[in-house]
Structure 1
Amino acid sequence: MSNSLLHHTVSGAGPALVFLHGFCESQEVWTDFVTPLANQFKIITLDLPGHGRSPIPDDFTMEAQARQVHQTLQALHVEKCLLVGHSMGGYVSLAFAEKYPHLLRGLCLFHSSALPDTPEKKENRDKTADFVRKHGVDKFMETFVAPLFAAGNREANQAAIEKMQAIGKATPPETIVGCLQAMRDRADRTEVLKNAAYPVLFLAGKEDPAVPLEAALQQCHLPENCLTYFLGQVGHMGMFERTAPTRQALLKFAELLPS
């Protein structure tokens, strides 16, 4: 299963923008966000291994997931791209950037981080895995999704929260546990940012509970060529919480990239 292609959707034409979703998500989180971008770019959204309609892999490590992304992009004849990774998708993007830097026109860490888990976060990953084993995926998703949105945005984003809960509940428990362990054990990839020969964009929510503002501030100076967009009153889900300004920031960045 590890060598199979990832489920994907392609739309538009032009320079390639590749979108990787986060933990317990699928490519469906990008559907509305990317539609206007297809007027200028070739948009590729992927279901990461074990998520959405992609098969469950033998190996959930960020490196293994990056290899499957690479295999899929090769099959699609993508020579270079702007890689956009949300949350865990950003961790996979950094593993991809470490292995295949020559394939990148740019990198966007969309509410994500090159820093490894802190000891406290590692412990929380283990506790979450235990909870899923004992109580199941549905019970976990009931409390996982809403706090990813800034408190002031939850009522207006109820439809998005319900959509994400439904996507999450369809995620196999072995995928959830495997990804929690892989995120817990992932490497520090700040050197990838320091060595980046391509521009990097950070999209950071000022109220993000998963990737705190301090983490973005620790990293945004590392790449030689970097733009950082701080989103006020936004948690971890800028594609829903502030769709238009988030999309516009990404679009402007994409337009600046060398061909």
Structure 2
Amino acid sequence: MSTSTPATILFLHGFGESREVWTEFTRDFPDQYRLITLNLLGHGTNVHDIRDYSMEAQARYVAEQLRQKNAERALLVCHSMGGYVALAFAERYPEMVAGLVLFHSTALPDTDEKKANRDKNMDFVRRHGVEKFMESFIRPLFAPSNRERLLEQREFLEDIGRATPQATVLGALEAMKNRPDRTEVLRRAKFPVFFIVGKEDIAVSVESILPQLALPAQSHALLLSDVGHLGYFEEADLTRQAVIDFAGMVFGD
């Protein structure tokens, strides 16, 4: 990559998370990379005057932040909803994408069943609040064997989730429900794509990802046993090294 700025890696968190989920994950990255972590609209400390939670609005925000930081291109490492944002970003700003890591994420739209579940979740949040919702939402995202082993990490995510404004939770659920099919973004990608998949992921199944592996011109995959939707905690060392190796390939290090 020939720019005046160092090779940039941008980390995008998932729904009900914040940039803090990447703190430990990024601690041992090589010094030659410029690491950027953002709070997506409505998340973390970025909670003021948010009117549009759509993936497209999030993508515009990401582009604005990268431009402010003089990053012409970046490798995007994106968890779950962050991947939906990254795909919207890649659709509109493909020239700014050096590579893409879909970390438990998908280019497919919600199925009818998934849309119905989003509606049920929104109804639950309206009736019982964000705190009650997060108590039941986060635990199943870990593979069964990791739910007690990683209790500290689970509580960490629950704390972040509980601090997420109700407007954000509702707005993000609606936005995810309404996002379009972006498999064409993968098909047209001139950048390498790396899929990290948990074999016990209840949110993004292995079966739904396998056909997507064939879409990009250059595709890589890591399929993880005994991992659910949170591989950056469930297999932290393995996934960290995999992302570092992918970054080396993307930037020719």
> Same-fold call, TM > 0.5?
yes
Identity of aligned residues (%): 53
Q: Could you tell me which amino acid in structure 1 is paired with residue 23 of structure 2?
A: T
Q: Which runs of 5+ in 1 are unaligned?
A: 1-12
The match for 1:131 among 101, 124, 128 is 124
Separation in 2 of the partners of 1:42 and 1:171? Answer: 28
Separation in 2 of the partners of 1:81 and 1:129? Answer: 34
Q: What is the correspondence of 1:170-249 to structure 2 with a 5 Å cutoff?
A: 170-249=163-242
Separation in 2 of the partners of 1:90 and 1:38? Answer: 23
The match for 2:10 among 18, 43, 51 is 18
1:82 aligns with 2:75: yes
Q: Is the 8 A contact 2:8 2:33 kept in 1?
A: yes
Separation in 2 of the partners of 1:129 and 1:93? Answer: 24
The match for 2:57 among 35, 58, 64 is 64
1:35 CA drift (Å):
1.0
Task: State the match for 1:37 in structure 2.
Answer: 29
Q: Could you tell me which amino acid in structure 1 is paired with residue 31 of structure 2?
A: N
Q: Could you tell me which amino acid in structure 2 is paired with residue 184 of structure 1?
A: K
1:258 CA drift (Å):
4.0
1:108 aligns with 2:108: no
Separation in 1 of the partners of 2:47 and 2:117? Answer: 26
Q: Deviations over 1:188-211 (max 9, x none)?
A: 000000000010000000110100
Runs of 4+ in 1 over 2 A off after TM superposition: none
1:14 CA drift (Å):
3.4
Task: State the match for 1:47 in structure 2.
Answer: 39
Q: Is the 8 A contact 2:7 2:251 kept in 1?
A: no
Q: Is the 8 A contact 2:110 2:177 kept in 1?
A: yes
1:147 CA drift (Å):
0.5
TM-score by length of 1: 0.93
1:26 CA drift (Å):
0.2
Query: Cα RMSD over matched residues?
Result: 1.0
1:216 CA drift (Å):
1.2
Q: Which runs of 5+ in 2 are unaligned?
A: none
TM-score by length of 2: 0.96
Q: Is the 8 A contact 2:188 2:216 kept in 1?
A: yes
Separation in 2 of the partners of 1:136 and 1:241? Answer: 28
Q: Could you tell me which amino acid in structure 1 is paired with residue 225 of structure 2?
A: G
1:38 CA drift (Å):
4.7
1:55 CA drift (Å):
2.7
1:218 CA drift (Å):
1.9
Separation in 1 of the partners of 2:241 and 2:197? Answer: 14
Separation in 1 of the partners of 2:214 and 2:244? Answer: 21
Separation in 2 of the partners of 1:222 and 1:183? Answer: 22
1:83 CA drift (Å):
0.6
1:96 aligns with 2:89: yes
